[in-house]
Amino acid sequence: MDREDIKALLAAEGAQMELLLKRALEVKLREMDSYVHLRGLIELGNVCEKNCLYCGLRRGNARVKRYCLTDDEVLSCARLAHELGYGSVAIQAGERTDAGFIARIERLIREIKKFDGGSLGITLSLGEQSEDTYRRWFDAGAHRYLLRIESSDEELYRKIHPGDSKHSFSRRVSCLESLLKTGYLTGTGVMVGLPFQTLDHLAGDLLFFKQMDVAMVGLGPYIPHPDTPLYRFKDLIPGAKERMDMTLKMIAVLRLMMPRINMVAATANQTIDPEGREKAIRAGANVIMPNLTPGEYRESYFIYPNKACVKDSPGQCRTCLDLRLAAIGHKIQYNAWGDPPAHITKL
């Protein structure tokens, strides 16, 4: 598919859109299976050195109450993931590059890897780091890393980030290259429905994922946050239904372009549509990240307003997911890392 073919598919509406989603589901079931893989999400902390114009955790947002989980809290979350049979955890946080933080993450990865002979897979989503840091964390036992490109169009990237060297597009791309070089199953992705974003940008994003040959992609709607600078452009963005539909079409087209990668049904989908996560699974996604962060911190991980599931306990989440997925003919694969078939890791 070239850029124009992709744009035509992303423009599909009504019956044509339904056909696209149906075809993507068929391809997923043929090339992968009907299993959904879980990553128990640990939101380790919301302290961030960066100032992305769209995100509630940005350094410049004085209204957010900052926190960082203790080592014991992180390890209890990981133990819980193991007990619930989730197979993997994803550790996510605001970006920090201080030596103490880097050493602490390395230590925590090694501790988690001690459970049950290293049976828990570890995904990290800790932003831009040096190649040496990526290597240290990989050597400690993390094997997947998520770093969204946010937009693969340099001009749009500049519009949604401050113009300083800490927010450079070329650095973002070179971090993705370092992750791939280090050996991580590397994931990237974008927000869908950003102000100034066009169909051409979105088609370019899908081509970028293919060109980078990533193993995982996370796509989710942009949700405007009132305490961020980008909020003033909220009237320029499509409505919630349009953002949801475009996210589903992006997932579906990508499933046709890259049939055997992992794709996350992002929580943001559920935030703007109560059935958003199931819809994403039916459009071709195959990974869900149920939240394991202790209840008292969840509201402080305030990336965007009205985050879904902030009040559910991990036990409730598991039952709810089993039922919701069974209703759409999918089931969870418990006690497995759930790497994509083309990239099964042998550590």
- Binder of residue 138, out of ligand SF4, ligand SAM, none (CB less than 5 to 8 A by kind): none
- Minimum Å distance from CB 293 to ligand SAM? 13
Helix (H) or strand (E) holding 122: strand 121-125
| Closer Cβ to ligand SAM, 32 or 160, answer by number | 160
| Alpha-helix residue ranges (DSSP H) falling in the chain | 3-10, 14-31, 71-83, 99-112, 131-140, 154-159, 169-182, 199-212, 240-257, 267-272, 276-282, 295-298, 314-326
Q: CB within 8 A of 171, min separation 6: which ones?
A: 128, 165
Nearer to ligand SF4, 48 or 292 (CB): 48
State the nearest-atom distance from the C-beta of 303 to ligand SF4, in Å: 6
Residue 28 contact among ligand SAM, ligand SF4, none, beta carbon within 5 to 8 Å by kind: none
Q: In whole angstroms, how close is the CB of 172 to ligand SF4 at the nearest point?
A: 10
Classify 44 as helix, strand or coil. strand
Q: Phi and psi (nearest 5°) for 6?
A: -65, -45
Q: Which is nearer to ligand SF4, 58 or 136 (CB)?
A: 58
- Cβ-based nearer residue to ligand SAM, 160 or 325: 160
CA–CA gap between residue 45 and residue 252 (Å, rounded)? 32
Torsion of CA 317, 318, 320, 321, to 10 degrees: 110
Beta carbon of residue 56, minimum distance to ligand SAM (angstroms, whole number): 7
CB atoms inside a 10 Å sphere around CB 179: 25
The interface partner of residue 58, options being ligand SF4, ligand SAM, none and the CB cut-off 5 to 8 Å by kind, is ligand SF4
Closest C-alpha among 127, 188, 195 to residue 152: 188
Query: Which CB atom, from 150 or from 339, has the smaller least distance to ligand SAM?
Result: 150
**Minimal distance in Å, beta carbon 13 to ligand SF4?**
31
Name 326's Cβ contacts closer than 8 Å, sequence gap at least 6. Answer: none
Question: What is the C-alpha to C-alpha distance for residues 145 and 152, in angstroms, rounded to an integer?
Answer: 18
> Which residues lie near ligand SAM (CB under 6 A)?
54-55, 57, 92, 94-95, 125, 127, 147-148, 150, 191, 220, 222-223, 225, 268, 303-304
Q: What is the DSSP letter of 228?
A: S
- Phi first, then psi, for residue 121 (nearest 5°) are -75, 150
Nearest-approach distance from CB 31 to ligand SAM, in angstroms: 26
Please choose which of ligand SAM, ligand SF4, none residue 101 contacts, taking the beta carbon within 5 to 8 angstroms, the exact cut-off set by kind: none
CB-based contact 278:328 (threshold 8 Å): yes
At residue 43, what are phi and psi to the nearest 5 degrees? -85, 90
State the minimum distance, in angstroms, from the CB of residue 151 to ligand SAM.
Answer: 10
Q: Residue 52 or residue 250: which is nearer to ligand SF4 going by CB?
A: 52
Binds 148, which of ligand SF4, ligand SAM, none (CB < 5 to 8 A, cut-off by type)? ligand SAM
Smaller CB separation from ligand SAM, 20 or 93? 93
At which residue do the structure tokens 């299976």 appear? 33
Task: Please report how close the Cβ of residue 110 comes to ligand SF4 at its closest, in angstroms.
Answer: 24
Residues within the interface to ligand SF4 (CB under 6 A):
48, 50, 52, 55, 57-58, 94-95, 127
Residue number, 55 or 325, with CB nearest to ligand SAM: 55
